[in-house]
Amino acid sequence: MANIVLDNLAKPKNITDKPQFTYADVKVDFEWDQTQQAELYSNLKDVDLVGSYDLGAIENSIVNIFTSFPGDKILNPQFGLNLNQFLFLPCSEDTALNIGNTIKNQLYLQEPRITVKEVLVTAIPEQNQYTINLSLGVPFINNNTTIKFKALLNSTGVTFYQ
């Protein structure tokens, strides 16, 4: 039987024994990374689970909310955001407003570490798609910290871009 060890997400200890981050998460994208062991003269070790911390962990959570459907997570069946329900409605500013309200409400319920500063959803009727611009605050890390997301909602789902 194989053993799976997930020790690379443990909080690292430094000299003062204070954690170096507040939030930790696992990136669900398949990436390989290397980490240095704490021992002196240790070699780099390949890891198959890459962690993300603080803002990265919150950004992962937001992407997971947008790309998961309610019912996908067995232990949390309310987790996720079903924006596909709006794709069969007429592509209009009214539908864009409904999408924006759904995003605000669901982010408020599902991600308590953020505050929603702005959600701007714009309809592009010629292409039957919507652009989504999010501005989110992270008061638990720093009151001035803002995370911005840009996404496109169309028949293929939600795609994030820079």
Residue-wise pLDDT tens digits, 23-32:
777 666 555 4
Check the CA dihedral 71-76-78-82 and report its sign.
Answer: negative
Min mean pLDDT across 37-51, 69-83, 113-127 is at: 37-51
What are the structural domains, with CATH classification, of the chain? 15-161 (3.10.450.40)
> So what's the pLDDT on residue 122?
97
**Strand, coil or helix: what is 107?**
helix
Phi, psi of 28 (to 5 degrees): -85, -10
Identify whether the C-beta of residue 25 lies closer than 8 Å to the C-beta of residue 61.
yes
Beta bridge partners of residue 52, listed in sequence order:
25
Averaged pLDDT for residues 152-160: 93
